A and B are shown apart, each in its own frame.
Chain A
């Protein structure tokens, strides 16, 4: 009897998915190939638009019907063709063979049903002890009590654990986890990831982890696949892909990630040139060629596949690049002079200028609702509970903390959107502070042209009307946007361009203090690096002080001189950046730093 190797848990070959719509065809997948062995944990990493989510959904048979998808290629689950299967057969496979954990557990759980009943549905039986046992295995404390809760009564981390329990309920062979921890706080994220990986390994369940974060994939995956423009351009073991990437895109992606070790100085993050590809206009040859320094005429043809052992790479010149991209020093230097405005004083005067921001004993309280009309008023929620900070003129301070730590409230109070309950906010000389929002798209008025929105700040500055247009155009160029953007409405821009436009508005009259609320957390890795560099350039060229609120320690390290760690409305540790990372004093800081998924551990 010959030994037949068991079929892989998932086999995807030359998978093409095109969404047909009147607005144009979207080529989400253009011949993706990926195999996942039994019990293997594979990370599928890519930026938005790379097709990684569509691959997961196709495997699950859960592609949206509208816009109509056209699918070709093969998807085999345990050797069985899923694309040829009827909807009935696919449904039978889902739940028993292949299950999913999605990013937003609140959206995936039924809000009007108790947790226990939902787990029972996934399990196929309603035995209370079995349900509790399953919940307990995913690290949910008091599973009997939690089973009687509704989803809104649980925290985000617990909800995601419930989702994991449901996904594992009927011992599937494969779990597709699409950004399972992206919506969670860093420390919770680390715990949920470890739990997911542990549970999968314990049961021999294969896991396809779809994520945009290389660090997340590095933390738990055996192998990593990199998706770009609808193809899987590189696959290998985690150590191979992270340690010696072959595809230029992987090389660039790894390089543009802010580092925790501080090896890259502020504002000098290497960035990938160009923009992520538009899935509406697919390239004929190698999709990365337009951004790739190693590309030549050959790259106009589809890239050949290089196989060596466990590695697979789609590139004409694999391993051609090692140290790339290098940051061009002072990328914005050429356009910087236009930003030196007549009424802005460069901060080079001998007199020590006033700090850009001084916050003293700041308190921000929110009233809590009374339980009933005759109840005594409950103690207010102290979102910011006595914070004192100073940002020197031209300095840079990062405020780090998890959701609910009060960091955003502090920021909004500093710029004047909220009134402090007590304490004082004292600002430096110059234009009033500006705020860069997390969601740049939402911070731009959707029906107004970009140029008109930027010009609104000029109206207050007293610049003659005739000069405003030119000033808007030169500011757009200074942040790396073409001047034609002035006439466009926000919807016409990409996410990265919107964030640049928002920054252009903030600096068209340079403020003494630029407050940033998670300015890069909604952006893809390569775009995030560009925006972080831009912020650092603005600081050095214009002397704008930065107050940078983030949950991302690596980003904080890239831009800040000093870091303040906030927890429950209080600054628990405040020290120069180097010191915070080298020798964190407060246990909470240590926990935060330990939770950051770091590539170096694997590579």
Chain B
């Protein structure tokens, strides 16, 4: 009933009057969806949160355990010689200078996965901070921060990343830094939108009347509500980032050789595609698999939170 009356009202008026219906204005179906998710998540059903985080944690653990699983070092030339076909001892064969591709792919998965998760965490933390500040302070601060965010969003992400790497030189850290720079604005927008919407809800008004200070209001009454949409976005972003990282390293903007990067390995192995196909295909398949798994996990997290919402 409330939602319905809200829909009938012009959004501007409801925001001006600061009523609960402000949230349900016509322009905010996405927000409303997230609001419900936030409620579901924050309302104590930790299952959704766990469902999203546990698989990510498991793969992260697996990535960290790469040194234990790898049969060889990632850089050492083995005794088998170059371009050996896959065998029991070298499951993915060896590359053009005789390194074990299986071990290199394992390390490559580690780099990609941890890199992607790292960029997302940094992006979400920085973007979240910017968004939370903009959303809660409002006024000039909001305008300045959000126009800055728009500025970053206006530049095509790969071009910006390439420009950053080109200016500070290629290395894994620089690649991750470049990606973080192009990634945070999305989180800033999400968190700002959530915080602003939550700030006009009755519970925020009630907290203000209870004499809650600005910082506590933000941290206890507003930011937790933005958690669920941020987690959903994060889980859906892992796959994108794995592809972005692999893409950058494929065109030579990742860590310089001999570090085991999946994109770079595919690129270097490309000339052996017809004679010794395992050399480029093994790392490429690893990228595809990783991206697929990441997307499935993201979808899963998303729908779990969705389900909790509709139930």
User: What 1/0 mask marks residues of chain A from 424 to 451 whose CB sits below 8 Å from any chain B CB?
Assistant: 0000000011110101001111111000
A405, CB-defined interface residue at 8 Å? no
- The one of A182, A366, A442, A447 in contact with B224, judged by C-beta atoms closer than 8 angstroms, is A447
The dominant DSSP class at the B interface is helix
* Chain A residue nearest to B222 in the complex (CB): A445
Partner of B209, one of A381, A432, A459: A432
- Determine how close the nearest CB of chain A comes to the CB of B22; give it in whole angstroms: 12
Check if A191 is an interface residue, CB within 8 A of chain B.
no
Q: Is A587 an interface residue (CB 8 A)?
A: no
- A104 & B4 in contact (Cβ 8 Å cutoff): yes
Tally A-B pairs: CB < 8 A.
101
Count of B residues near A, CB < 8 Å? 35
CA distance A76 to B10 in the complex (A): 44
CB distance from A472 to the nearest CB of B (A): 13
Q: Does B16 contact A (CB under 8 A)?
A: yes
Whole-angstrom CA separation of A409 from B17 in the bound complex = 7
Residues of B within 8 A of A (CB): 1-2, 4-5, 7-8, 12-13, 16-20, 38-39, 42-44, 201-203, 205-212, 216, 220-221, 224-225, 311
* Inter-chain contact B221/A448, CB cutoff 8 Å: yes
Q: Nearest 5 pairs between A and B by C-beta?
A: A447-B42, A460-B211, A443-B202, A491-B43, A443-B206
Please tell me if the beta carbons of B8 and A417 are within 8 angstroms of each other in the complex: no
B contact residues around A434 at 8 Å (CB): 209-210
Are the CB atoms of B5 and A183 closer together than 8 Å?
A: yes
* Chain A neighbourhood of B205, CB < 8 A: 417, 435, 437, 443
Instruction: Say yes or no: is A483 at the interface (Cβ < 8 Å to chain B).
Output: no
**Residue A382 at the chain B interface, CB threshold 8 Å:** no
Q: Which of A381, A417, A435, A439 is close to B20, meaning CB atoms less than 8 Å apart?
A: A439
From residue 483 to 513 of chain A, which have CB atoms closer than 8 A to chain B? 489, 491-492, 502, 505
Name 23 interchain pairs, CB-CB below 8 A, sorted by A.
A104-B4, A366-B13, A409-B17, A417-B205, A418-B18, A432-B209, A435-B209, A439-B202, A442-B202, A442-B203, A443-B203, A443-B206, A444-B203, A444-B206, A446-B42, A446-B43, A446-B203, A446-B225, A447-B43, A453-B207, A453-B210, A491-B43, A502-B206
A183 touches B4 (CB 8 A): yes
Do residues A437 and B206 form an inter-chain contact, with CB atoms below 8 A?
yes
- Asked whether A329 is an interface residue with its Cβ less than 8 Å from the other chain, the reply is no
**Other-chain contact of B311, A23, A444, A447, A505 (Cβ < 8 Å):** A23
Q: Tell me whether B4 and A107 are in contact (CB under 8 A).
A: yes
Q: How far is the CB of A171 from chain B (nearest CB, A)?
A: 29
- Chain B's nearest CB lies how many Å from the CB of A26? 12
Please tell me if the beta carbons of B2 and A439 are within 8 angstroms of each other in the complex. yes
List residues of A whose CB falls within 8 A of some B CB: 21, 23, 103-104, 106-107, 152, 156, 182-183, 366-367, 369, 381, 383, 403, 408-409, 412, 415-418, 432-435, 437, 439, 442-448, 453, 456-457, 459-460, 489, 491-492, 502, 505
Q: Which of A106, A107, A432, A435 contacts B211 (CB 8 A)?
A: A432
Q: Give the most central of B209, B212, B311: most A CB within 10 Å.
A: B209
Q: Please tell me which one of the listed residues B8, B16, B18, B225 contacts residue A447 in the complex, with CB atoms under 8 A apart.
A: B225
- Known pairs A21-B311, A439-B20, A456-B207; list 4 more (Cβ under 8 Å): A182-B1, A432-B209, A443-B206, A457-B210
A89 to chain B, nearest CB (A): 30
Shortest CB-to-CB span from A79 to chain B, Å, is: 36
Complex Cα gap A417–B212 (Å):
13
Nearest chain B residue, comparing its CB with the CB of A103: B1
Q: How far is the CA of A398 from the CA of B7 in the complex (A)?
A: 28
Query: By the criterion CB–CB under 8 Å, are A442 and B311 in contact?
Result: no
Which residues on the B side are within 8 Å of A403 (C-beta)? 5
Is the Cβ of B7 less than 8 Å from the Cβ of A106?
yes
Contact A156 B1 (CB under 8 A): no
A445 and B20 within 8 A (CB) = no
Q: Please state if A456 and B1 are interface contacts (CB–CB under 8 Å).
A: no
Which residues of the other chain, A, contact B5 by a CB distance below 8 angstroms?
A: 156, 183, 403
